[in-house]
């Protein structure tokens, strides 16, 4: 019997309609900043959580970049797949659904994904933002 790593609730989460109540304005500002930066990542290239946080004016808060993506509504159509962890590594666990989807989306843009990693040369700092 194959054990699932994620809970059933987690798997059903994307289907759930329930959303959390609106956040405070300053929190929304941080989220907006991060989302905006992610939108600016060019097609066929990637950036890292740390770099995204920096570009959004939140140096040292790579985690918050991850959360912002986790909380991002589907309707924004964010290119979330262009955000990877340090060294070009896909942050999701190897066999996870999300990992596979991210790799697939990246390959669809011509990004070579091998061994759960993208070529570090494709990583952009987003300094010029």
Binding site for DNA (CB under 7 A): 20, 23, 27, 30-31, 48-50, 60-67, 69-72, 80, 83, 85-86, 91-92, 98, 102
Instruction: Quote the CA–CA distance of 70 and 76 in Å, as a whole number.
Output: 12
Minimum distance between the CB of residue 15 and DNA, rounded to whole angstroms? 15
User: What are the strands, taking DSSP E only, across the chain?
Assistant: 47-48, 83-84
Minimum distance between the CB of residue 60 and DNA, rounded to whole angstroms? 5
Instruction: Quote the CA–CA distance of 80 and 88 in Å, as a whole number.
Output: 14
Minimum distance between the CB of residue 2 and DNA, rounded to whole angstroms? 20
Minimum distance between the CB of residue 100 and DNA, rounded to whole angstroms? 13
**Closest C-alpha to 30, from 69, 56, 63, 54:** 56
């Amino acid at each position: 019997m194959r054990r699932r790593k994620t809970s059933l609730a987690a798997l059903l989460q994307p289907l759930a309609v329930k959303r959390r109540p609106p956040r405070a304005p300053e929190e929304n500002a941080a989220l907006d900043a991060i989302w905006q930066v992610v939108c600016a990542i060019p097609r066929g290239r990637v950036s890292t959580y740390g770099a995204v946080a920096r570009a959004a004016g939140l140096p040292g808060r790579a985690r918050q970049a991850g959360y912002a993506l986790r909380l991002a509504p589907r309707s924004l159509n964010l290119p979330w797949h262009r955000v990877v962890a340090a060294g070009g590594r896909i942050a999701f666990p190897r066999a996870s659904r999300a990992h596979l989807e991210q790799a697939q989306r990246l390959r669809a843009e011509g990004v070579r994904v091998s061994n759960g990693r993208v070529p570090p040369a494709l990583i952009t700092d987003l300094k010029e933002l």
